[in-house]
């Protein structure tokens, strides 16, 4: 299921806006817009992957009590693994 549309509607507007830019700023503006477009494309892809994973049942709700208990168990094990050096060592 695709929930995110493309940015095709913005292309004519962006082209018109670039024509209004001073010549010395156009190249930087175009580079910036291309960079932002690529970031948006990657973000859109990652969001869609998350939506697809949720739809396929590969995502589960986090149980914070279980996570905290696991972390406390690990921390207490590390604490009990520490040994004090013997006198004279």
Domain-embedded: residue 55: yes
Domain-embedded: residue 88: no
Query: How many structural domains comprise the chain?
Result: 1
When pLDDT is averaged across residues 65-74 and rounded to a whole number, the result is 94
Range of the domain at 50: 10-81
Could you tell me which of 60, 49, 59 has the C-alpha nearest to residue 2? Answer: 49
pTM of the full predicted structure? Answer: 0.52
Domain-embedded: residue 2: no
Could you tell me which of 40, 39, 59, 51 has the C-alpha nearest to residue 3? Answer: 51
Q: What is the pLDDT of residues 7-51, one digit of tens each?
A: 566 778 878 888 888 889 989 988 998 999 999 999 999 999 999
DSSP 23-83: HHHHHHHHHHHHHHHHHHHHHHHHHHHHHHHHHTT------HHHHHHHHHHHHHHHHHH--
């Amino acid at each position: 299921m695709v929930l995110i549309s493309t940015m095709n509607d913005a292309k004519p507007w962006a082209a018109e806006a670039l024509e209004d830019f001073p010549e010395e700023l156009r190249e930087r503006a175009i580079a910036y817009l291309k960079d932002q477009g690529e970031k948006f494309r990657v973000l859109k892809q990652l969001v869609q992957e998350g939506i697809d994973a949720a739809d396929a049942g590969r995502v589960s709700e986090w149980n914070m009590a279980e996570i905290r208990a696991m972390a406390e168990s690990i921390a207490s094990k590390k604490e009990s693994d520490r040994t004090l050096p013997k006198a004279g060592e």
